[in-house]
Chains A and B, each alone.
Chain A
Amino acid sequence: GAGVSQSPSNKVTEKGKDVELRCDPISGHTALYWYRQSLGQGLEFLIYFQGNSAPDKSGLPSDRFSAERTGGSVSTLTIQRTQQEDSAVYLCASSLATIGPGRSSYNEQFFGPGTRLTVL
């Protein structure tokens, strides 16, 4: 079946260039998360979209990072003027609603395969 897809799977870019990473969530999922996985570290939260609400951008590391979600579906993460420390795997996840423990609030979270970004 159709899961969360991300493109490209790999991206190599030169320092200073802009990149766009795309996430196609599962149809009907209202919540969409972007994370970053750097080498040897845990997942770092970047941004969260929930329905038509204003996104939670509290995890974006700098103003070079931005994301949008058009029509409540596809999301694009844009990194401007890339730096070498931006090199990481960027993961997208979607769910029916907010993630949280406990049977009353838990909704399965589906992750995409990630985009591996390498900034030279």
Chain B
Amino acid sequence: EDKVVQSPLSLVVHEGDTVTLNCSYEVTNFRSLLWYKQEKKAPTFLFMLTSSGIEKKSGRLSSILDKKELSSILNITATQTGDSAIYLCAATNTGNQFYFGTGTSLTVIP
């Protein structure tokens, strides 16, 4: 059964902390892994990873894919209250089907 598992389920940190969110997948004919940030109605796209070992960065956020371990991490450094959100991970297959994790809820306390 194809699936994506995220951990932790929820996380509460203080401003300035660094957090690491985990995503593991078991998807046949895997194509890519995507990270989203969801604050309100629709998740906003963060990263798409297709190659193993290549880090993608955007400001204080970075992510990397490990195809050998079938996993990905999302790092957020110097967290701010605006980083409070649910972070979703999704894996796609070559048939363009999406397999989402249930998300990690991040709360950043001032």
- Are the CB atoms of B45 and A102 closer together than 8 Å? no
- Are the CB atoms of A102 and B84 closer together than 8 Å? yes
Taking A45-B42, A99-B38 as contacts, is the C-beta distance between A111 and B9 under 8 angstroms? no
- Are the CB atoms of B86 and A109 closer together than 8 Å? yes
Taking A103-B12, A111-B98, A116-B96 as contacts, is the C-beta distance between A42 and B90 under 8 angstroms? no
- Are the CB atoms of B105 and A106 closer together than 8 Å? yes
* Residues of A in contact with B, size category: 20 to 34
A109 to B88, CA, bound (A): 9
Does A49 lie at the interface of the complex (its beta carbon under 8 Å from any beta carbon of B)?
Answer: no
Q: How many residues belonging to B are interface residues under a CB distance threshold of 8 Å?
A: 28
Residues of B within 8 A of A106 (CB): 10, 86, 103, 105
Cross-chain contact of B103 among A48, A89, A103, A109 (Cβ < 8 A)? A109
A43 to B41, CA, bound (A): 10
A28–chain B nearest beta-carbon distance, Å: 15
Taking A103-B107, A111-B90 as contacts, is the C-beta distance between A44 and B96 under 8 angstroms? no
- Are the CB atoms of B105 and A42 closer together than 8 Å? no
Does B99 lie at the interface of the complex (its beta carbon under 8 Å from any beta carbon of A)?
Answer: yes
A59 to B48, CA, bound (A): 24
Residues of A within 8 A of B80 (CB): none
Cross-chain contact of A42 among B9, B40, B44, B103 (Cβ < 8 A)? B44
Residues of A within 8 A of B106 (CB): 101
- List 28 A-B pairs, Cβ < 8 Å: A9-B95, A9-B97, A35-B42, A35-B43, A41-B45, A42-B44, A43-B44, A44-B42, A89-B96, A91-B98, A93-B100, A101-B84, A101-B105, A101-B107, A103-B12, A103-B105, A106-B10, A106-B86, A108-B9, A108-B103, A109-B38, A109-B100, A109-B103, A111-B98, A111-B99, A113-B98, A114-B98, A116-B96
Closest 7 A/B residue pairs (Cβ): A42-B45, A45-B42, A111-B100, A108-B102, A106-B105, A45-B41, A113-B97
